[in-house]
């Protein structure tokens, strides 16, 4: 059974890294709002199915230990090819944040062994996109926590800027129109 190892590091604490990981893993697999219970801990045994193009992804959550690991078993059906995947994300605290390890093992069935290189590259690319999305999610959360908030009056609304910019202005009979 072929295996792939992927790793990434973040300066964010492990709890924040795990919340971002669950959000990234859920995207394209299940609807986080449909999960009963805490959104950062999907229930073990939950099944999901997602069709993207000609590939049907079905799977289930095998393990979810907060804030340490998530393990999924998935099947990719792209007739006549079938790929059975085991994806295991593991977070570890390190001196300056957290480290994510993604271990992927897969078995090619049907006509998939005839396209071994194709499937290996697709799985490697998918894992790379997942790691990049995790990093982007953490970066966005960090940017949001560092950006200053401006309160407006007592309405409780926030604005990002206190100035208004006019983008297009045309004049008809001396009266300006804004678009």
Q: How many CB atoms lie within 10 A of CB 64?
A: 21
pLDDT, tens digit only, all 179 positions of the chain = 889 999 999 988 898 899 889 888 888 787 666 555 555 677 888 898 888 888 899 999 999 888 889 999 999 998 898 999 999 999 999 988 899 999 999 999 998 998 899 999 999 999 999 999 999 989 887 777 776 655 444 445 555 444 444 444 444 555 555 55
Task: Give the whole-angstrom CA distance, residue 43 versus residue 36.
Answer: 8
Which CATH superfamily groups domain 3-144?
A: START domain (3.30.530.20)
Q: Is 32 helix (H, G, I), strand (E, B) or coil?
A: helix
Task: Give the whole-angstrom CA distance, residue 91 versus residue 99.
Answer: 6
Q: What is the pTM of this model?
A: 0.72
Domain-wise residue ranges, the chain: 3-144
Q: What are the tens digits of pLDDT across the range 118-166?
A: 999 999 999 999 999 999 989 887 777 776 655 444 445 555 444 444 4
Task: Give the whole-angstrom CA distance, residue 96 versus residue 76.
Answer: 37
User: With contact defined as beta carbons under 8 Å apart, do 177 and 169 qualify?
Assistant: yes
């Amino acid at each position: 059974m072929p295996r792939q190892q992927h790793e990434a590091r973040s300066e964010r604490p492990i709890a924040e890294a795990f919340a971002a990981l669950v959000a990234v893993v859920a995207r394209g697999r299940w609807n986080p709002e449909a999960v009963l219970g805490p959104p950062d801990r999907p229930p073990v045994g939950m099944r999901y199915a997602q069709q993207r193009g000609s590939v049907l992804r079905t799977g289930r959550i095998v393990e979810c230990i907060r804030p340490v690991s998530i393990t999924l078993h998935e099947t990719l059906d792209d007739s006549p090819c079938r790929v059975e995947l085991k994806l295991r994300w593991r977070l570890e605290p390190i001196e300056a944040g957290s480290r994510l390890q993604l271990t992927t093992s897969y078995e090619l069935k049907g006509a998939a062994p005839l396209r071994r290189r194709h499937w290996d590259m697709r799985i490697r690319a998918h894992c790379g996109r997942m790691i990049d999305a995790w990093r982007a999610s953490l970066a966005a959360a960090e940017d949001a926590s560092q950006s200053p908030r401006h309160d407006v009056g007592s309405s409780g609304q926030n604005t990002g800027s206190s100035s208004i910019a006019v983008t297009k202005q045309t004049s008809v009979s001396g009266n300006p129109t804004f678009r």
